[in-house]
Structure 1
Amino acid sequence: MHKWAMLQRRADQSSTQEQLGRRAGRAWFAFAAVGLAIIAAALYSAGLYARGIELKALAAQGRTDVNLKVALLSAVLENPRALPLLLSQDQQVHDALARRDPVAINVLNRKLEGLVSGTKASVLYVTGANGVAVASSNWRDPNSFVGSDYGFRAYFSRAMQTGTAEYFALGNVSKRAGLYISRRVGNATAPLGVVVVKMEFDQIEANWREANRPTYVSDEHGIVLITSIPSWRFRTTAALAGPDLVAVRDSQQVGHAPLKPLPITRPKVLSQDVSIVHAMVPGGNDAEYLRLSTQVPTTSWRLDYLLPAEAPLAAAVRGMRLLALGIMLPLLSLAAYLLWRRQSAQMRIATEQAARSELERRVAERTEDLSRARDRLQSEIIGHRSTEAKLQVVQQDLVQANRLAILGQVAAGVAHEINQPVATIRAYACNARVFLERKQTAPAEENLGAIAALTERIGSITNELKAFARKGRTAAAPVDLRGVIDSAVVLLRSRFAGRLDALVIEPAPASFKVMGNRVRLEQVLINLFQNALEALDGCDHARVDVSIDETADGVTLSVLDNGPGIPPTILKSLFTPFNTSKETGLGLGLVISKDIVADYGGRIEVESGERGTCFTIHLLKAA
């Protein structure tokens, strides 16, 4: 019974493996079919995408080339257009046409010959009112235009009717194509004749031919006039209708040219001025081109430029398809590997039943490893939390240290700024005591009132600095700048008694107001006035000029002394704390002054040399 069960199990296992094998074969067949379809779709999409991208790049390149060609053609066209206009008003032309004197005609022939040699025109000639050429720049040549009848030419008839004309045609004498620019001589009621300049485009066509990219210009009828391929001249961009063809033949514009359509077929429009065409270029096979068209300014012409597209498009499509294959093949290989792995896993299921116990053992071991890893992770988490708590303590200590440093700077500033009014109070007190000893109560009361005002000022300064320490900065408000200057001078009067005559303050409008705070701006001016007066101590002809000017964006206050100037070593770090050249100074006055001005949107500039020092304060003007 046990042996039969074993055989039955083996048979079941064999049947299961056969079923899995058949399923694997069907799966691989379906995979191959889907893979081939995906590759085909990817290659087709990659080709379309690459073709579109390359067409855009070619179009951008072609537009640049077309713009350059049109600009050059327009420049060439502008050169000869002035000649007929000038000659139609020339007195020698009028004399030759009016008198028909051989001497006058000979002079005109020589003049036209000289003008042609100095310009890019092919030939320049003058016809009478009947269309017969009277004078010409090629009068010496065997095929001279003199005596030829051009009355049938459109440029002659149009010029006689409208005063001016431009007409591209094949010369009936020279048999060379060119642009005829004509101008009537005399008024419409009594015309004397027509001045004609012929311009040929051999140099432009030669330049286009060197680029080896077909370029041609066609008129409003679609007749090719200028081209880099000589055999395309006087062919048409489309078949001419009967009336147009008859009109062109009657005008003899193109001689006996067949006026056949250009060998350009299968146009596919991409945009208004860009299309894909197939062209048969002489010496080559039918090839694909990107055709760009644009209008030639000041004319009815249209310039077409054929940019070879077959090779660039093929290269772009080939490169993009190779890239698509490079992407798809690894992906399909990965999919095949996953399919193979899945089938292998299914094949192994039947044989893995006996290994369950081993698997369970390994699972148990892995669970134990994970438990140990969890314990290590929890320990690391605890360590990180401890480190984070220590970091927060250190950060709090740094914040406290920073706060103490700021308070130290503020305290030093308070001591420096209060020292000036305290010295003034002491001087007023001494003066008041002398006045009281002399029984002069009125001056003593004035000094005591000044002392009271200065104590209020000290209170304002300390309150301001306390407000600064508590709130950061005092809000700006309109301040009378003249009043600030006067208050600063009052504070300095006792300290610099007898020397304030050196302080020359330029008169300023009483209503000159700036944005700031009165007390803080007084501190700035006291620092600058004091520094200037101290710099002039012992100098002859000491002078400190204080001036106020209005600028486009605010107000400038300048303090200029004629002292010895600031040493370069001090000037480089003038606004650095504790940097001073004074034995008793703290080096904070200018630093505090700069911060005060900056708080109200201004700035302080300094210039110093051997002839003195100038501090300039820029402040915002109150609205």
Structure 2
Amino acid sequence: MRSIPGLIRLRLWLRRRGRTGTLVPLLAALALLAALDQMARRGAEAWVMAQLSREAEAAAGLRAAMLRSEIEKQRSLPVVLAQDPDVRTALTRRDPAVLRALDAKFEALAAGTRASVIYLLDRQGVAVAASNYRDPTSFVGSDYAFRPYFRQALAEGEAEHFAFGTVSRQPGLYLARRIDSPAGLIGVIVVKAVFAEVEAEWRRLDSPIFVTDTRQIVLVTSVPGWEFRATALIPEAERARIRASLQFGDAALSPLPITAEGDDRVRVTMPDGGAAQTFVEAAAPVPTTGWTLHVLSPITAAAEVSIAAARVLAVLAGALLMGGLALIGARRRQALRKRRRESRARRELERRVEARTLELSAANDRLREEMDQRQHAQAALQGLQDELVQASKLAVLGQIAASVAHEVNQPVAAIRTFAESGAMLLGRGDTGSVSGNLATIVGLTERIGAITGELRSFARKAPGPLGPVSLRAAVEGALLLVGYRLKEQEVALELDMGPEDFHVRAERVRLEQVLVNLLQNALEALASRPGGRVRLAARAEGERVLLTLADNGPGLPTAVLDTLFIPFTTTKPAGLGLGLVISHDIVAEFGGTLAAANQDGAVFTLSLPRVP
């Protein structure tokens, strides 16, 4: 509908220029508005899609890191259990009492680590002990020699295989490790990890999430009904071969209801029978697994509101531009006509601005509602970040588990030697030497207790309150966990902790987590360098204590120094770029700072509040 000033101008143009002269400016104005509207729509749509893509990529990377941490935690179990004396005794003696005690031990360990089932196979592949020995579907006595993970563990020493359980009817990741004695193979320890809790946690989010293997088959998903389907059509011959292997039971391996629309957008038909929806897809590899994690981020109503607001603003700007041009032309006319036209144009503009203001107010209300929703999502993200700190600590724990096993094996072997020697001395009646052997055994058991106690303390999830912490004790605890790697790599350690024991405001377990992370980074930097050296030095500066950790490695690349504490910045080929970020946040919670520099190698400076 034409406005009143527009009708007046139309009549003047009809009188002076005729009908043709009137249509040309009108058509030009409409074309300009249409062009501005299309440009605003395309620009806003591109910006919104870019934002959604970045958010989806960040979510995919975070969830892939969490999934990897869950898998790494389970990977440490077969390594530790393969060295367990009870496991080796059960395989060599086959004593029923020993086997039943091992069943109970596996049951408690599976409950504590959230493993689905832990079971022990003899050299023929028959289960002799299992954590589900109480269940009707107990694995004890079952023959698993046909399973690929058993055959691969025998051939290569360890194996990982995702499959559908033939007895439990539950899919999971089987982690197997071969157990050898001086006489040769004696059995295989198997841990089955399931991801039901991970899937349940994913279902609480708005975005569908699923994980595929190298054949594009879905292994883990938050969408019921998508299990063991494929993102691409699998040839019939390949599907027949997979079904014959029973890896996924009798699943049809049919394609997922996902259609690509370009620019990372996909059209998805959900299993609930609703209308198809459009999502933005992002994918991230799950390190050390060969899996890929996919996140489908929905295009929300807030995105459409942003696009609509941009279009309204563009049209309003075009209208203001044309109004300004009309005012410039009106100045050339007579003063009386000019005043009348300006008055009418002003009233019309005010009406249009008022209408547009109402529209923008409504759009702002919707945007505020969306901001509230994002704040709730931010609170949930904070919870996930706290879980990530614990997951990172457990991942580090998995990496040092083998080192701790070596540290424990040495005093255990010494205890056995002194015990055998004591028995011989006792037979000779040399009680004085026997007493000396017993005293030595007590000292060795105290060392084992210190190592395992430090490991249990390090694995605690709940952080303690902040308070005075001995910096020297925290450094000694961290060195107890990574000491074996220092010896194994022949890295020289220099300690300069000062004449007094500094106390800082911190929480010991998390402070040790930071020190372990920095020490492991230094050891990785020195992995291939002879004459490696790590120096730890502490000194007081006023009300703060500075602890520096320096190595003589290649140093940090200049390109990453400024972004070292930003998530996903890493110098390692398989790194996630989260370890230093988590360490930086932990130190900030203590009221301290963590800085990095290069000086004949990498130098990290930890500044913490001093406690008298």
Give the alignment's TM-score, normalised by structure 2: 0.50
Give the alignment's TM-score, normalised by structure 1: 0.49
RCO (CA 8 Å, sep 6+): is it higher in 1 or 2?
2
Instruction: Look at both structures and tell me which one has the larger radius of gyration over its CA atoms.
Output: 1
